[in-house]
Chains A and B, each alone.
Chain A
Amino acid sequence: MRFWLSPAALLSPAALASLAAVAVAGAVATTGCGLNQEGIGPPADRIFYPGAITVDSTGSFLYVVNSNADLRFNDGTVVAIKLGSADREGTGVSDVLLSARPDGSGKPAKFRGICADSKFVNQLSEPADYCCWDTLDHNILNCDERQFMVAGAAVKIGSFGSALQLQRPQDDMMTRDDHRQRLLVAVRGNASVTWIDAAVADDQSTVSFTCRDGSPVGAFDECDLAHRVSQTKTAPGQPTPLAEPILLPEEPYALALDQSQDLLYVGHLRGGYLSALNLADAPALIGAFGGIFPGDINGSTGVTSLTLTAERINSGRIYATSRYLPRAGAFAAISLGPVDPDASNAVNNSRIFLGNAGDSFASPLNGAEVRGIQPIPAIHRTFLLQRTPPALIGFNTTNSGQNVAADILEMCNGPTFLHMYPPFDPDGDSGLDKRLFVTCFEAGQVYVVDPYVPKVVAIIEVGRGPAGLAFPPQGSGNRAYVVGFGSNNVSVVDLDPTSSTRYHVIQRIGFPTPVPR
């Protein structure tokens, strides 16, 4: 029986209920566990249906959200994976991989054999530090993920975590202190944005999580309500409490972070709402704003992705994509109250609303659902990722262009997310070095697109169900990390232009398996 489902299939309540039923039935039938309220706790050292990923600002750790999509456990988790020191220097993937590769004498520092077969999965009873070369592709080192897990850096967050953002406090941004970080996770299971404090050791050898008041640092706890933003009891811009709170709308799915303004934007798969959170202190909901997209023929609305291209209130831009219509548009945080920028409350985080910023994109293709948008101002092109039919559509955004579609590239089956790397360089960006990465859930591929010509330059086979990508901070490694939702692992892709394995998976953190161990 296959327990994994596509993200699209996970959207509906019916699907969630079915999954729960399957999980419950499975638990009863196969394990004989009793149905108590506690359920089965999730493991702290494993990857199971990962839904989101990011790399910490030092390039030392991967943060992975385990969605617990089949509800086999009573919670999803966020875990940290230690990247090797070599990785930070851009010369290797992890110490494990490095050690398995031939050294100067032609012999590997540590011998790794070929995996027993193409479906090999290291059992939990076996040593956790096991790695072996993939049977079908000897360029890929498959490893048990337990050996990379950072002790004390795992928390429980609820099921169906779907997006992850890393916030660095403003004062630390100025001092280049990367030790204090905050993880923000959209959790669909409990309709919250859950936040976790992460403290990186001075020597960057370890990191610890905290999301429960009073709990010891590093404890594998469930995040408490104080760390879940799901409602506010004050109206936007008004400090007096409301009798009835404003709730965070259901299905938080996409996140965009305005780092310099300490604002987090949340796109909701259902209802078409955009929410805003004030991160200046403890994260707090400012409000939810509807009417972002018109509904489809059935009136359904939803937001599938958010891309932030400019920061700050009154000057920022957030691009949102529609779940039901083949279109996308730009929105902005607008300050309530006087337009005068000198007014004291003009840029108060708690006094904003999200308004249409007038930049809209309509696909010329029949079909539906846009999964991502990526403006590249330097070359005056904006790319829209449409799911059906799968296509990447380039729009002319010159002053004379009026957002007219001009390029169409067909994509692989089931495109889910659109990423750009390297990111914008605020100190000057020619736009010529960008690559667009499209993860395709159904095809198990990542398409790499040169937006400049435009053309597909590479197709990366990454295994079943890729659900997102993460890149290290610039200058800290030529790697990409792919969330393997359907294979319960993280794949490491080589981006080194001088490498013979460029655009190729070279390591899997977790053996590929459709069912979590």
Chain B
Amino acid sequence: MRSRSAVAAGALMAGAALAGWLVGCSTPTPPISLHNLERPTDVVFSCVGLSVTGTDDSGQPTLEVSGRPMSECHVPGRFDKPPDLAHRTFGFVTNTARGELSVINMDTGKLVDLDPSNPETNVAPLGVLPEQISASDDGCRIVSANRGSCDLTLVDTGALVMPQLALEGKLPKLPTQTGVRPPVSQQVVVRTASGKPLKVAPYEAWFLPQDTSALTTPEHACGAHPSADPIGWNPDPTKPAETQWKALVSFPSCNLVALVDLPSGEIVDSVQVVPSSDGTTVDLVPMGAEPVCAETDFCNGSIPPDDTSAPDAGVAPAAINPDQDPFVNPAGTRPGPMTIRPGGERVYVGLGQAAFVVALDIGPGQLRRPAMGATIQLHDHALGVNRVRLSIDPYKATGIPGQHGGFVGEGELRDRQYLYVIARDGTLRIVDVSRSTRGLKDTECDANIDPAKFPPGERDSDPRKTCWPVDDPADADHRLALAQGPGLRFSGLVPRDVAAVDLTSLDPRNDWEGVLDGAYAFVLTSNGAIFIVNIAPTLRDKTVVSGTVLPSPIAEVEPLANSLRDRNILTYTTSMDATTGPPRLDLDPTAPVLGPTLLGIKASLVADNVRLAACATTNPLCVLTYAFFPQRSAVQRQTWNVLWQGDVFGPSFSGNFQAVVANRATAERRLALSDLGVGFCAAGVLPGDFVTLFGCTADNQCGPSQVCKRSDSAPESVGTLNVNGLCMLTDAEKQAQQLSACAPLLDSVRRYEIVDATETLLSLRPRLDEIVSSTFANCAHASPGAPCGPSNDPSRSEFKCLNVEEGGGLRCVQPCVVGQTSPACRSGRACVDYPRGSFCADAPTIDDSFGQCLNQLTAYKVGAGNAFLVQGTAPTPYHPGRPDATTMKCVADPDRRDRIPLFRTKPTATMGNVRQPLPECDPAVEVKDDFSADAVGAEFLSRMTTGNPQVIAAPCLVQTKDKATDMPVNGGPYYALFQNRELRFVLANLEAYLGDSLQITFDVHGGFQPDTVLIPGSVQLDAPARIVVSPIDSQGQASDLSSTHELPFLFVVDQRRLARANAGVSATRGQVLRVYSRKPTGSDANSLLPVYDDLTSSGGLWPVQ
């Protein structure tokens, strides 16, 4: 035990020394102190108190300021009591840009002036680039990892805030200080046991958790030595034996993790993480107390460089192959981010240059390689690790005296213990670390399991309910369609940090639809949005209607652990806005009066159509159902378009067209289209699709000294097709030449059929002017030469069922004679030679004039040939198309699900001179005789209902049959069943006349919406770096201090916000923001949701800037 007299003697100097220290520390002197935060990156909390420890010789009370265990300020499991001078909570924030430490009084939300005797809000120096900070469990010290100066700074928390407490307490004299003074802080250069400094930058430094069971009274105030040992290091923690604090420090440049004494800085034990000999995994190499680093870092001059040292990172060049999976950089693994289990028995270390997390067991004075699970592989091109966090609340009660912190929502089986890994591929990976407590190997979980393939009924007895192992065994079949790897992605945002919080409560409202209750991970992303990930959610099964709490008509199905929480588990009401509630069609689809349309089906289950719940009881089928949602969690609010020959992509403005000879014997020319900006196969282009040479509509779409010129004779549009211009030179003579040469092009709608498609090149020929629906419904059963044009379109009166090319089947086209004006092709079309004759086409014959017309980048777009394109407006990732491995030509990906084609493609495209329609659905749907909508809908209902787990794997055709003969009815009606990731529907009347375009549109309202922390318009953050759960209850401090549900505040460190005039912000500065973990949202009294606090809602306290 330390000498209290010595402590008191040392403390006498404190007042003057502190002031001097604040401005004149031996290591880096800060610039002019400012009272704002500048590039803050991290925050930790400590409890500090002022205590009366006795009386002095004159009878005056003896006062002492000391850090204390956090449980003294915030008793776990109880409401916080109001703060007093003996129980104050401070936040310590690193200002990385200035190398300073700012202190926030968490009870008042104000920055603390560390030297009240001087103007401004004074701060304390740390080191260069103090990116990360940690607090000891005894509350006595904080330590920062200074990546710029290659050292650590150890700060005495009590001494640091002593002037503030003295000022607040209006004390007649400064309190006695504990510990050794000066210094209040110490720069610590980590050294080997022999005293050799490590000349490499620390990445993170974490105190080992301490057993604070002996620190319950002021007598155990902080001193020069700790009064609490690391957990598990001492069989009798009430009699501490360690004379130093212990911390784990990572050094990426040295590939090293070291157990370090503080404040001596001496390495007790260490382990290097190196690539294995075969380069496919990593090895842990014990280095003891004398590790050797092959490299040195720039240490801002604070550690003299070696004269013989190589430039930092100047290792021998090594072959790096980031496409190797798992990736291991042969030049070094770069361990950096760390997190320690609450019991202090194990640390997880992320590797910056290997797709692994390594685990090390911590024992008294040593680091050990675990017998099992020392390396945890991250799958599917994780590349490396930026940050690791455990799903723990560090202040949670454990029931063990002196020990705090535990996994949130782990459950009775303690099987929901997760390690969150922010990988270097921009994803959040989840590792099940509960397995190691059961003697198993920790493993990565697949966070993209399709809930439809793992339904609730199958989960209860399945251990994969809490973690679907990625590789134990490997199983890609259960993964969500379109998911890329096992990690979570956040709509293009980069995850920055994760904090876990338990919001489980006994509040009677905890199962209301608008309440966040349960255990969750809060994932902070690059724009400040905090996504909520399920750990152990409380299911929402109550709704509030006119003040009455009722069971939800559709109760929430338990989501899979590690899935994004759905905000839209809400009961449907007629007043619901488009963004909220379950997926539905509030309005019927819009479609042309004549032509294909979506079949409206009379469903009777609310699960199939939530709008049925609002129907009058006398008419339960008052609403027709046009679209079904087999997987609710996949549905996004968006507008869907079913477009006849819709655009696969475009317009692209970088098309390079060249006329080439495709057949020397016939001198047939084709257009070759290349576009370095587009991978055609990946974009979904297929042979049979068509290119529209979009051209230009305005001069500013052309280059310098060019203008957009269109035909003087052609109409601006033909039907629904535009006849645009082409870019031509402003030079009059040149322009005249171009106009003359390009007249046929300028006069046409310029649509070209894609004959061949590869990833980089399309081969094009003029597209036939064809009535596809007539080919589908009429020519399939007609003789060659039979008329097929619709009677209501006189411009197509000359269309006949004809063979255009060998083996192509009869098609409804218009014959013509090249060079003659009669019979005339339709406007915007031209007569073109084909193998079996001349026919009208959507573009003129390709000839040498194209060189003058398309001698620059030209805009174009690609349409889906002879198919309906089902497109949504939300950014849904589609399976990219792919080239055939042998032919390198684009082939369809069956998982892409965005088309309803009318015809099959090769090799079954034709049979007996008839183009073959889509395959029949299997199992078949029998539609016979009575073709009324109700009767047909009844036939389809069993296939469409949400309760039918059978997936419609690909669009399929339903032919109507004659009841008497059981034979297909020629000419229809025809129906197509379609399902993609979000929808099922029936497209009816396929045989109806199709013009050049047709569009069916419907809006899906509601649907899955990832739950995020609400950001009021008055809160602005732009470069968030850190989110932490705090020990501070968001519930008001209660006088009874009874054991109840605590809902902690969370805090976000934002490195900088932008100065934006429209946000009323005039300065750029960092800030610490408070997140109210559950709060009435104001707009809805039944909602209790997490929200960023603003100045108004926090009573003028937060954010602190």
Within 8 A of B (CB), among A222-262: 235-237, 242-247, 249
Partner of A336, one of B306, B314, B526, B855: B855
Q: Is B424 in contact with A356, judged by CB distance below 8 angstroms?
A: no
Closest to B489 in A: A404
Check A391–B1023 contact: CB distance below 8 A: yes
Is A379 part of the binding interface, using a Cβ–Cβ cutoff of 8 Å?
yes
Contacts of A517 in B (CB 8 A): none
Closest to A429 in B: B317
Asked if B293 is at the interface of the complex by the 8 Å CB criterion, the answer is: no
Interface with A: B434-442, B583-591, B700-708, B905-913, which one? Answer: B700-708
Contacts of A364 in B (CB 8 A): 492-494, 525-527
Asked if A280 CB lies within 8 Å of chain B CBs, one says no
B residues near A388, Cβ cutoff 8 Å: 1058
Report whether A430 and B494 are in contact in the complex, using a CB–CB cutoff of 8 Å: no
Contact status B677-A432, CB under 8 Å: no
Contact assessment for B334 and A453 in the assembled complex, using a CB-CB cutoff below 8 Å: yes
Contact A503 B298, CB 8 Å, known A242-B705, A338-B658, A413-B1068: yes
Instruction: Tell me if A42 counts as interface (CB < 8 A to partner B).
Output: no
Closest chain B CB from A24 CB (angstroms):
31
Report chain A residues within 8 Å CB of B426: 396, 404-406
The complex places the Cα of A332 from the Cα of B675 at a distance, in Å, of 11
A357 CB–B CB distance under 8 Å? yes
B730: interface (CB < 8 Å): yes
B-chain residues with CB within 8 Å of residue A453 when the two chains form the complex: 203, 252, 334, 336, 352-353
Minimum CB–CB distance for B100 against chain A, Å: 14
B97 within 8 A of A: yes
Is B323 in the interface zone, CB < 8 Å from A? yes
A497 touches B310 (CB 8 A): yes
B277 to chain A, nearest CB (A): 20
We find that the number of chain B residues with CB closer than 8 angstroms to chain A is 90
**Per-position 1/0 for B156-187, Cβ under 8 A of A:** 00000000000000000000000000000000
Q: A389 to B1023, Cβ gap below 8 A?
A: yes
B383 interface contact, C-beta 8 A? yes
How long is the Cα–Cα vector from A413 to B39 in the complex, in angstroms? 10
Q: Closest residue of chain A to B301, judged by CB?
A: A500
Q: Kindly list chain B residues whose C-beta atoms are within 8 Å of the C-beta of A5.
A: none
CA distance A67 to B700 in the complex (A): 31
- For A372-398 the 0/1 string (1 means CB < 8 A from B) is 000000111000000011110000101
Q: A244-B705, A398-B323, A433-B311 are in contact. Are A407 and B424 (CB under 8 A)?
A: yes
Chain B CB within 8 A of A412 CB = yes
C-alpha spacing A502/B309, complex, angstroms: 13
Contact with B along A206-229 (1 / 0, CB 8 A): 000000000000000000000000
Q: Which of A472-517 contact B (CB under 8 A)?
A: 497-504
Closest to B252 in A: A453
**Which A residues touch B304, using CB under 8 A?**
500
Chain A nearest CB from B40 CB (Å) reads 10
Within 8 A of A (CB), among B452-466: none
CB distance from A252 to the nearest CB of B (A): 13
Residues of B near A458 (CB, < 8 A) are 148, 298, 300
**Does B676 count as interface, using CB distance less than 8 angstroms?**
yes
Query: Per DSSP, are chain B's interface residues mostly helix, strand or loop, or mixed?
Result: loop
What number of residue pairs across chains A and B have CB atoms under 8 A from each other? 222
**Looking at the complex, which one of B312, B731, B1055 makes contact with A410 (CB distance below 8 Å)?**
B1055
Is there an interface contact between A365 and B320, defined as CB atoms closer than 8 Å? no
Docked CA distance A432–B702 (Å): 43
Chain B nearest CB, measured from A299 CB (Å): 9
User: Please, which residues of chain B bring their CB within 8 A of the CB of A504?
Assistant: 301
Pairwise interchain contact A389-B679, C-beta atoms closer than 8 A: no
Given known A235-B729, A388-B1058, A457-B297, contact A291–B313 (CB-CB < 8 A)? no
Q: Is B307 an interface residue (CB 8 A)?
A: yes
Q: Is the CB of B368 closer than 8 A to any CB of chain A? A: no
Pick from A90-98, A103-111, A282-290 the stretch touching chain B. A282-290
Residues of chain A lying within 8 A (CB to CB) of residue B313: 432-433, 450, 452
A273 within 8 A of B: yes
Q: Is the CB of B527 within 8 A of A365?
A: yes
- Which residue of B is nearest A336, CB measured? B855
Task: List B residues 642-675 near A (Cβ within 8 Å).
Answer: 652-654, 656, 658, 672, 674-675
Most chain B CB neighbours (cut-off 10 Å) among A244, A367, A379, A430 = A430
Contact mask for chain B residues 379-399; partner A; CB cutoff 8 A; 1 contact, 0 none = 011010010000000000000
Chain B CB within 10 Å — which of A390, A410, A428 has the most? A410
Would you call B381 and A457 a contact (CB within 8 A)? no
Q: Please measure, in the bound complex, the distance between the C-alpha atom of A364 and the C-alpha atom of B733, giving whole angstroms.
A: 48
Tell me the bound Cα distance from A63 to B352 in angstroms: 40
- Which residues does chain A contribute within 8 Å of B703, judged by CB atoms? 287-290
Question: Residues of A contacting B560 with CB < 8 Å?
Answer: none
Interface membership of A36, Cβ < 8 A? no
Q: Are B39 and A410 in contact (CB under 8 A)?
A: yes
A49 within 8 A of B: no
Chain B CB within 8 A of A339 CB: yes
Q: Contact partner of A243 among B424, B484, B731, CB < 8 A?
A: B731
List, in ascending order, chain B residues with CB within 8 A of A410's CB: 39, 1023, 1025, 1055-1056
- Contact, CB under 8 Å: A367 / B334: no
| Contact partner, B1022, options A249, A358, A367, Cβ 8 Å | A367
Bound together, the chains give a CA A39 to CA B69 distance in angstroms of: 74
**Interface check A22, CB cutoff 8 A:** no
Cβ-based interface call for B982 (8 A):
no
Q: A243-B732, A389-B1022, A398-B322 are in contact. Are A498 and B306 (CB under 8 A)?
A: yes
Please, how many angstroms separate the alpha-carbon atoms of A480 and B734 in the complex? 51
Q: Which of A247, A355, A400 contacts B677 (CB 8 A)?
A: A355
Q: A358 to B677: give the CA distance in the assembly, Å.
A: 4
The residues in B between 470 and 516 inclusive whose CB is less than 8 angstroms from any CB of A are: 484, 492-494, 496
A357 & B676 in contact (Cβ 8 Å cutoff): yes
Give Cα A499–Cα B312 distance, bound, in whole angstroms. Answer: 13
Q: Which of B301, B322, B1023 contacts A502 (CB 8 A)?
A: B301
Residue numbers in B under 8 Å from A400 (CB-CB): 323, 325, 380-381, 425, 484
Please, what's the 1-or-0 string for B763-780, where 1 marks a CB less than 8 Å from any CB in chain A?
000000000000000000
Q: Which of A235, A379, A457, A498 has the most CB of B within 10 A?
A: A457
The CA-CA distance from A291 to B319 in the complex, in Å, is 38
Asked whether A23 is an interface residue with its Cβ less than 8 Å from the other chain, the reply is: no
Residues of A within 8 A of B672 (CB): 339
Q: In the bound complex, what is the Cα–Cα distance between A504 and B305 (angstroms)?
A: 14
Min Cβ gap B149→A in Å is 10
Could you tell me if B677 and A457 are in contact, using CB atoms closer than 8 angstroms? no
Contact assessment for A247 and B705 in the assembled complex, using a CB-CB cutoff below 8 Å: yes
Complex Cα distance, B331 from A389, in Å, reads 33
Give the chain A neighbours of B73 by CB distance below 8 A: none
Partner of B298 from the list A337, A378, A401, A457 (CB cut-off 8 Å) is A457
Tell me which residues across on chain A come within 8 A of B677, comparing CB atoms.
Answer: 355-358
Q: A: which residues have CB within 8 A of B?
A: 235-237, 242-247, 249, 273, 287-291, 332, 334, 336-339, 353, 355-358, 362, 364-367, 378-380, 388-391, 396, 398-401, 404-408, 410, 412-413, 428-433, 448, 450, 452-453, 455-459, 497-504
22 residue pairs bridging A and B, Cβ less than 8 Å apart: A236-B856, A243-B731, A244-B731, A332-B676, A337-B658, A364-B526, A364-B527, A365-B1022, A379-B320, A380-B322, A399-B323, A405-B494, A406-B426, A408-B496, A412-B97, A432-B320, A433-B311, A433-B317, A453-B336, A455-B252, A497-B309, A500-B305
Given A355-B857, A430-B317: 7 more A-B contacts, CB < 8 Å? A236-B856, A364-B494, A380-B323, A407-B494, A432-B318, A457-B312, A498-B305
Q: 7 closest pairs, A vs B, by CB?
A: A356-B677, A430-B317, A380-B322, A400-B381, A406-B426, A356-B654, A246-B705
Q: B residues within 8 Å of A by Cβ? A: 39, 97, 128-129, 131, 147-148, 201, 203, 252, 296-298, 300-301, 304-315, 317-320, 322-323, 325, 331, 334, 336, 352-353, 380-381, 383, 386, 423-426, 484, 492-494, 496, 525-527, 652-654, 656, 658, 672, 674-679, 700-705, 729-734, 855-857, 1022-1023, 1025, 1055-1058, 1068
